[in-house]
Amino acid sequence: MITGAGGQLGRCLIEAAVADGNFRVFAYTRSELDITKPEELRDALEEAKPDICFNCAAYTAVDRAETDQEKAELINHTAAERLAAACEQREVLFVHFSTDYVYADRFNRPLRENDPTQGNSVYARTKLQGEQAVLRQQPNCFILRTSWVYSEYGHNFVRTMLRLGEERKQLKVVSDQVGSPTYARDLAAAALQLAKDEEAKRGIYNYSNSGVCSWYDFALAIHEFGGVDCNVLPINSAAYPTPAVRPHFSLLDKSKFAERYGAPRHWRLALKECMDKIKVLG
């Protein structure tokens, strides 16, 4: 069972689960299942009778959340908790997704799953509360913390840079925030791999593609692969203020995942695949 099936991760997960061939997939977009509505949740669980529930539904508008706290809280915390509890009651394995934003201190080294957490924005706080509540309800779930998610679907940095690069001669992109992009297809494959692995240790896993870059580096690579001729200039975050604070250091340590399944592929390889798909889809 997949919630938030119209989002970029949800769509990639449907495709990955169907391609895997071992799953009967029940996927629900927001209009088919609003996870904040308990009766819709109950009906969907009754219909799908799942063994595994992947919760891809989330309030992901980081800046809007600053003025829309109640809704962000309801979706990212309350509804996630309720869904995890309903799954626990029915002995359904719960797979949830979270973010690098939950980490507290930004060390000068990749962030580990057991590093201290703290919500520095409404989005971060609601995602952290969601994680904690999910773990309380179903301690044996999987939570994948990820960063900088993009795909050929929906709204994301890759598609925005392509559009702006075509529209403008010059763009300014922040270069003092570093991390690793995550292709939603790779994240979907990782989530399936964990869920299928009966021996896998349950709990929190970091997952992103390998390598490190700034948003500026990422934009340059998008234009390189997209054949976009645009002058991209690096700027500091201070020159691009946003309602919600952004972490400067988002690089995730993936060794817990990599020890069992191998290191995720490099972000440039994943980006190239996504760009090829975007060229086909238009």
Ligand X SMILES: NC(=O)c1ccc[n+]([C@@H]2O[C@H](COP(=O)([O-])OP(=O)(O)OC[C@H]3O[C@@H](n4cnc5c(N)ncnc54)[C@H](OP(=O)(O)O)[C@@H]3O)[C@@H](O)[C@H]2O)c1
Residues that bind ligand X (CB under 6 A): 3-4, 6-10, 30, 33-36, 56-60, 75, 97, 99, 127, 146-149, 154
- Cα→Cα distances 70→55, 73, 77, 84, 279, Å: 20, 5, 10, 20, 39
Q: How far, in Å, CA of 29 to CA of 50, rounded?
A: 16
Cβ closest to ligand X, residue 170 vs residue 257 = 257
Give the separation between CA 93 and CA 50, rounded to whole angstroms. Answer: 9
Taking every pair of Cα atoms in the chain, the longest distance, rounded to a whole number of angstroms, is 56
- Cα separation, 174 vs 192, in Å, equals 33
Task: Give 169: exposed, middle or buried? Use CB within 10 Å, 0-12, 13-18, 19+.
Answer: exposed
Q: Which is nearer to ligand X, 21 or 158 (CB)?
A: 158
Q: How far is the CB of 178 from ligand X (least distance, A)?
A: 15
At its nearest, how many Å lie between ligand X and the CB of residue 168? 23
Nearest position to ligand X, beta carbon? 7
Which H helix or E strand runs over 216? helix 215-226
Cβ closer to ligand X: 30 or 202?
30
Q: Write down the least CB distance from residue 11 to ligand X, Å.
A: 8
**Residue 99 pairs with which residues in a beta bridge?**
146
Annotated catalytic residue, options 28, 101, 103, 123 = 123
- Does residue 123 carry a catalytic annotation? yes
CB of 61 to ligand X, least distance (A): 8
Neighbour tally for 81: CB within 10 Å: 20
Query: How distant, in Å, are the alpha carbons of 106, 234, 279 from that of 254?
Result: 16, 28, 30
The CB-of-31 to ligand X minimum distance in angstroms stands at 7
The answer to whether 247 touches 101, Cβ cutoff 8 Å, is: yes
Q: Which is nearer to ligand X, 146 or 177 (CB)?
A: 146
Burial string for 125-153 (b: 16+ CB within 10 Å, else e) reads bbbbbbbebbbebbeebbbbbbbbbbbbb
Q: Answer whether 188's CB lies under 8 Å from 45's CB.
A: no
Select 8 or 177, whichever has its Cβ closest to ligand X.
8
Query: Nearer Cβ to ligand X, position 34 or 152?
Result: 34
At its nearest, how many Å lie between ligand X and the CB of residue 214? 15
Known catalytic residues?
Answer: 123
